[in-house]
Amino acid sequence: MTKTLEKAKTSQDVHHNFIGGEWVKSESGKTFKSLSPANNEIVVGQFADSNAADVKKAVDAAEKAFPEWKKTPAPERAEILFKAAHLLEERKEEIARNMTIEMGKVFKEAKGDVQEAIDMAKYAAGEGRRMWGQTVPSELRNKFAMSIRQPMGVVGVITPWNFPVAIPSWKMLPALVSGNTIVFKPAPETPFVAMQFVQILQEAGLPKGVVNFVTGGGPEVGMPIVEDPRVRAISITGSSVTGRKVAGRCGELMKKISCELGGKNAICLMDDGDVDLAIDGALWGGFGTSGQRCTATSRVIVHKKQYQNFIDGFLARAKALKIGDGLDTTVDVGPVVSKKQLEMINGYVKVGKDEKAKLLLGGEIMTEGDLAKGCFHQPTIFGECNAKMRIAQEEIFGPVVAVIPVDSFQEAIEVANGTEYGLSLSMYTRDVNRAFSAIEEFESGIVYINAPTIGAEIQLPFGGIKQTGNGHREAGITGIEQFTEWKSVYVDYSGTLQRAQIDNYGG
């Protein structure tokens, strides 16, 4: 039975790791607390502060479960995912509520987070009856050539807190349908809803040891997963700093690694673009999830002819946003995830001021009344930014938007492309030629036309270029790539030795 948050809140439950189908205490017996960002006095639960010994046990269990899971036909594995989709649908409201309490995003967005997992469960389950390989003609007679996909084995999944159910689902569900077993480490900020996701997979019928869940810190739990020689592939979403450490270690160990990392996404509003639509987009993209999306619109690049109109409308609308506890359905912007994140965001406000960007709105940590108990930051807008300023270059991951005026379409493209990241870029224009030029010229994994930088759907590949990623894509038809090995198979039924490249070419 899924543990409810109400129970956890009142009894201060200690939640354990899930290893080999059992909920087990950590080796150290130590725990850490997950706090609600809307009110740090609310303890969501206490979780195992695990270490390398727990990881070893989890990998043991995953290794043991692998041969049988691999042999289970993919359509049969998929049935469990369909069941998980139905369970997620049944419990969508409950999990979303818990997510709002634990992570802070407003209830409507938390429901969207769970919906993404439902969509992914159905999509990945469909893969159970595809899992396509290739059959191609051989250059030789009486010879058959084909390729098949095979699971990697034990895979490690390391996730951030900002999409605490959706991101684990993007990784784990394709990995499972492909026949892998998993050691999953969620972010320390959001272990409760991650645990609920694991419980749903368990209830859906996953055999023991197929998914193992170990909570704790990055260096203490994440790195031992990376370094265990039995773990064949790692999929991580997090900051570029973390991604570089993990990818570096995986490089040394010759391990397959997919990284989904930071972003510095931008909306470009051209002189012919719909200013009201762009304001809607900048509000949703900039302040949705309190700016804590990898695809958040943290820059708006505006043609000078539209600059004042845009600023006037954007400020008026942003001033009207209601900040507060995301469980209140009249609230537009919830807290940020932690005090640490709050300080980091506010530190960037100081950077912006020092850089002489024009602070047009917000800029403060909110301390009125009950807000002081939580992690609330005012929606913040800087105007007249220069594209090279740190606030226009570095990922802030909070409700802070830098508006950058430009003179032309070409300058907008150059500014949009002028950061180390390459996740999501957007162009507001009514000119079809400009729209297609932007699609071609933007250096990013995702492009939107006349829509903000957020809003990806699970049936297309998701990921970025440059410092955002290392060339892999989650979701869509690419979602199972990270978790499968290609095997090329030649069947020669000629009864003679046939030499490729030689026998047909006079060799």
Catalytic site residues? 260, 294
If the CB atoms of residues 286 and 464 are measured against ligand NAD, the closer one turns out to be 464
Q: How far is the CB of 319 from ligand NAD (least distance, A)?
A: 27
Contacts of 399 (CB under 8 A, 6+ apart): 286, 287, 290, 291, 333, 336, 345, 362, 377, 378, 379, 380
Residue 71 β-bridge partners: none
Task: Choose which of 222, 286, 288, 335 interacts with ligand NAD (CB under 6 A).
Answer: 222
DSSP string of 435-466, one letter each residue: HHHHHHH--SSEEEESS-S----TTS-B--EE
Task: Examine residue 452 and tell whether it contacts ligand NAD (CB under 6 A).
Answer: no
Q: How far is the CB of 292 from ligand NAD (least distance, A)?
A: 7
Task: Choose which of 37, 179, 209, 263 interacts with ligand NAD (CB under 6 A).
Answer: 263
Q: Which region, judged by CB under 6 A, interacts with ligand NAD, from 11-19, 95-103, 215-223, 355-363?
A: 215-223
Q: Which region, judged by CB under 6 A, interacts with ligand NAD, from 70-78, 213-221, 278-286, 487-495?
A: 213-221
Task: Examine residue 187 and tell whether it contacts ligand NAD (CB under 6 A).
Answer: yes
Q: How far is the CB of 345 from ligand NAD (least distance, A)?
A: 12
Q: Which residue type sits at 29?
A: G
Task: Examine residue 238 and tell whether it contacts ligand NAD (CB under 6 A).
Answer: yes
Task: Say which residue the tokens 């929606």 belong to.
Answer: 379
Task: Examine residue 338 and tell whether it contacts ligand NAD (CB under 6 A).
Answer: no
Task: Examine residue 332 and tell whether it contacts ligand NAD (CB under 6 A).
Answer: no
How far apart, in whole angstroms, are the C-alpha atoms of residue 154 and residue 255? 12
If the CB atoms of residues 238 and 405 are measured against ligand NAD, the closer one turns out to be 238
Q: Which region, judged by CB under 6 A, interacts with ligand NAD, from 222-230, 318-326, 381-389, 411-419?
A: 222-230
Three-class secondary structure of residue 321 per DSSP:
coil
Q: Which residue type sits at 4?
A: T
Report the candidate in 176, 393, 370, 154 with the shortest Cα–Cα distance to residue 263: 393
CA dihedral 493, 495, 497, 500 (to 10 degrees): -20
Residues contacting ligand NAD: total by CB under 6 A: 32
Three-class secondary structure of residue 500 per DSSP:
coil
Report 391-420 residues binding ligand NAD (CB under 6 A). Answer: 395, 397
Cβ proximity of 321 and 309 under 8 Å: no
Task: Examine residue 294 and tell whether it contacts ligand NAD (CB under 6 A).
Answer: yes
Kindly list the strands in the beta sheet with 256-260, ordered across the sheet, starting from the edge strand earlier in the chain. 22-24, 17-19, 211-213, 181-185, 154-158, 231-237, 256-260
Q: How far is the CB of 146 from ligand NAD (least distance, A)?
A: 33
Task: Examine residue 262 and tell whether it contacts ligand NAD (CB under 6 A).
Answer: yes
Looking only at the bridges linking them, the beta strands covering 421-422 and 465-466 are antiparallel
Q: How far is the CB of 310 from ligand NAD (least distance, A)?
A: 25
What is the x/- site pattern for ligand NAD, positions 134-173, by CB under 6 A?
Answer: ------------------------xxxxxx----------
Q: How far is the CB of 215 from ligand NAD (least distance, A)?
A: 10
Tokens of 471: 């060339």
How far apart, in whole angstroms, are the C-alpha atoms of residue 108 and residue 500? 59
Report 466-485 residues binding ligand NAD (CB under 6 A). Answer: 468
501 DSSP 8-state letter:
T
Q: How far is the CB of 456 from ligand NAD (least distance, A)?
A: 9
Report 29-58 residues binding ligand NAD (CB under 6 A). Answer: none
Cβ proximity of 484 and 176 under 8 Å: no
**Which residue ranges make up the site for ligand NAD (CB under 6 A)?**
158-163, 185, 187-188, 217-219, 222-223, 226, 236-239, 242, 245-246, 260-263, 294, 395, 397, 423, 464, 468
